[in-house]
Chain A
Amino acid sequence: MILDKYPAVLQAVPGGKILLTTTDDFINLGRKYSIWPLTFGLACCAIEMMAAYASRFDFDRLGVIPRPSPRQADLMIIAGTFVKKMAAPVREIYHQMPEPRFVIAMGSCANCGGPFHDAYSVVKGVDKVIPVDVYIPGCPPRPEALIYGVMELQKKIMRMKLAKGGGATLQAEKGSRDPAGGA
């Protein structure tokens, strides 16, 4: 079954029951299906994030299981309006997460300030503070959109290379909108 799905990833040794693959692909495959996000909601979008974990949308199907501690999390979903007072804590939480760590900016607010783009207290996009891997537009994005965002992240994870240090966010401190740092 895996063979049908990942012909490029795995090759069966002819006649045998052994699968050969590269270390990269093997590790990435494991990573891809065990993305554990931090339970971390900021505003309205967090309610849609909760809906994505709940009965109808059932995020568990993708191996996405919320963790309450940043030490156990791989993914931080910034769901909501990102204001200046919150910037320092978010940066701290981001650095508490173990590498490789990923960030999804969910909703217009996290992308660019959204309906509060001209407010004095709102940061215009979370990528001003921490690097972002996937942006999801919408106000709020539907749970389906969040699931699609995670699937995009999975694709990105499959392109990760150990030799390059392993992290998708190794564009690191540059910020993902930096053309030279984009993955």
Chain B
Amino acid sequence: MSVGISRRDFLKGAGALMVSFGGVATLETIALGQGPFATHMSHIDPSKLDSWIAVGEDGLVTAYTGKCDFGQGMYTAQTQLVAEELCVALERVRLMQCDTSVTPDQGTTSGSQSTPTNFNDGGLAQSAATAREALLEIASRRFNVPTDQLNVVNGLITAKDGTRVTYGELIRGKHFKLTVNPTAKRIAVREWTVLGKPIPSLDIQELVTGQFEFVHNVRLPGMLHGRVVRPPAVGATLVSIDERSVEDMPGLVKVVVRRNFVGVVAEKQVQAEQAASKLRVNWSKGGGNLPAQRLFYEYMREQPSRDVLAVDSGDVNEKLGAAVWQLRATYQHPYQAHGSIGASCAVADVQDHKATIWSPTQSVYPTRSGVAQLLGLPADNVRVIFVRGSGCYGLNGADTVSYDAALLSQGVRKPVRVQLTRQDEMAWGENYGAACVIDQRAGLDEKGSIMAWDCETWSVSLGGRPGYEHPGNVITGSLVGFEPQTISPQAASQPTGELRNGSNIVPSYVVGCIGGKCGGAGKVRSERVLAHTVKSPFFTGPLRSPLRLQNTFAHECFMDELSAHVKADPVAYRLQHLNETRLMDVVKAAAKGASWEERPSPKSARLRRGVTSGRGIACVAYEGDNGYVALVAEVEVDQASGRVQPKRFVVAQDCGPISNPAGMRNQIEGGVLQGMSRALGEEITWDQNKITSTSWRSYHSLPLGMELPTIESVLINRSETRALGAGETAITVVAAAIANAIFDATGARVRQLPLVPARVKAALEARS
């Protein structure tokens, strides 16, 4: 399909009949909920109904969404949403996802924001509701009956006297100029027939039979194959290339160089691979300066930093000084990888004045903008079509490989498919989840209650999502000379406005007061949270539950240490300091589900050798108010080896009204096990010059053959509230719950992730 195609042509080409909504530009604008990420004007005006919904003469509904599915179930849930609001059967809805020529700009699919964005009062939901109301309105005029006396089921409108008309018949041949009506009435949750049901993922048949088209399967006529050649060390720059080193390589089409970007294009994949490994490239000695991994957490503290005070009651030091007990602890979280199962891949077709990219990106419009800047084309001449890649949990190599493909295709003016190697993906493809070091201090009064909490964190940042303006935020963009965003050192100022806890930097147990307004989930009044961000030597980005997981690990482990210090039951002690009922409810529900035995940790009758077991809890109000979760972990610890084996997880979760319980359970189970793998073994490693965790031998993911813990989910369905995100909640608390369970079992506290046997063993040996 060519670039610059109109949506009308697209619809015709796709076999759907003319859309009869829309047509005339309107000045009326409405606030469409587009999530927290900035979006730019696209030629698809989100205020117009036909930007979102088309009803064909055959009654088939086509819906357009800027939130795409990469395995988290958004395709199915959004199809349910449209079917529900338009009162048509699920099979009658076709969802078009993320294509800059046909879908509205909804920024990036991320941060568990898709459900809130498209399911609350904007986007897709409101458009479908507008369309339903409009159709009823037309029918009411045709039958001369008020709309409330019309009934609609499966796209068929029936009046009391039995007269009926289908959607298709109603709109046939007519045009309506409609804008999305922000007050169109939504279907009440109690009347849902499609939403809220455990609908199996709509693509599962194609997936299990190998027929689903991933971006890796995109093949174009005349398509060539590309491989990239990345620098051998962080910071190395290109000096020269010896093209003679590959001159006899069969099938080689071209060596493409742009500043520090090097790649090869060949007729076949294997030829591209051979040429990439044969190509002699002279790189400057840029490396040699990486901070030693062993000392990295200390290194972070010494760097110039950008500081933010999230809360500061001003009296923390005084209260800590007056406390009966003062406790402190430091927690450390490593860099971790997305490690998507498929190394990233994209296909680009760049011609003289236009480009089309088939990309697994989570952000088609921002990627369009980045590619346009890389290629020197106007954004309007670039079309980015989302085609699903393998599961992505933030910012894997999807954006970078889209740039790679664009550059290589521009070099040869032919369609090029680029497949990163596993090593490329792990060392020069993705933006890692950030390393963090977190200091906690708390003061307890004579009854053992927390009277002051002081938290100081250091995390790292370099690059991130490119957005519309910063292609240098991912590796390929920076190789061709765009600067990555990084921090500029700045001292903290006193917090103003409302509490923002999007990164869960503020523990759940403090009041979170700024200027008299308290947005925290807890009761501790004396509070200070100071965050430092320092420049990262490696590219970083949002990895599933970015910083929320790191911070929650520190908060929830520390809370456990405090309750152990005063010999309180960890559940009761949490409840005692919480104020937010939704968070308290999930804590109670998880404890109940796990038949939690009320007692302090560590358990009293514990063996000092052999295999011992314990339980731990952790909870969080995800992003402060975007989902509530508590998890009880039961683990076994082999004290001889330090090996930790989780046996059972009980998760209680409240994410508002549940769109699809099957999908939510699937997300919880996946999140919990992914969290377990990350907690137990995952860590990016490096030497003086470069990343060394570049394969599954050096970056340790738990395989399918691992011993599986049981996972029980307790879903709290709050149909009266707003929809919240569910993709990142459960994973946020896993590491803390496991570490707390290890402590319960053994009395040994491990404050650094991952909880590898050697580290656990060392903590066991350090027990008094």
Partners in one complex: no
Interface residues of B (CB under 8 A from A): none
